[in-house]
Amino acid sequence: MYSPTASSFRLTKAGLVSSVLALSACLLPRTAAAQNIRTLDPGTTIPVRITQAVDVDRQNYRVYSGIVEQDVRTDNGRIAVPRGSTAEIYVRVARDNDLILDLESIVARGERYAIKAEPNRVESNDLIGSIVGTFSGGAVRGRSVHIPRDSVISFRLERRLDVGVPDRGYDRDGFHYHGGRDNDRDDRR
């Protein structure tokens, strides 16, 4: 029968440090690899569950919230955006004057992914995300946009999203807005 002695449980300070480092090495590659993803490329599909009903018949610059429904992976299988990350969605005016639901940004692991705008950029109304597939029970484009709460909308990125883009929006009456203020024409990105 084995009987442990005090020396069999003795762990030196150096041994403890090397054990912690070895354990960290096993855990870090997955975390570090995920945090090194600095952009989401065009073509990436992001399914978002809408957490606030959207019922709009004119552009009001209000940002609606959503939750990423499933992990978004890179081409090599790494998780770029984990399930449960927050998403900002808004309704904007398209070139044909229709209203269209668009993806504003995503916050994953404390980092905000959005379009980096140059200071002198002229708003071109380019889509960030186009709607993938069909959506029943509402309208994502037209003279009005109606999306019930808890609907899942999949967006396919048309433009690259970069990490670290600040949110220059503002809060008013319990809602978040981007743009629409006279002194801040293009503060969405």
Say if 184 falls within a structural domain: no
Amino acid at 110: G
Q: How many CB atoms lie within 10 A of CB 170?
A: 15
Domain housing 60? 39-177
Tell me the whole-structure pTM to 2 decimals: 0.69
Say if 187 falls within a structural domain: no
Q: Are residues 30 and 120 in the same domain?
A: no
Report the C-alpha dihedral over residues 38, 43, 49, 51, rounded to 10 degrees: 60
Q: Are residues 31 and 81 in the same domain?
A: no
Could you list the pLDDT tens digit for every one of the 189 residues in the chain?
Answer: 444 444 433 444 444 334 333 333 333 333 433 446 788 888 889 999 999 999 999 888 899 999 999 999 988 888 999 999 999 998 988 888 899 888 889 999 888 888 775 544 444 455 677 777 556 667 888 899 999 999 999 998 888 888 888 887 888 888 888 876 543 444 333
Q: Are residues 63 and 92 in the same domain?
A: yes
Amino acid at 37: I
Say if 186 falls within a structural domain: no
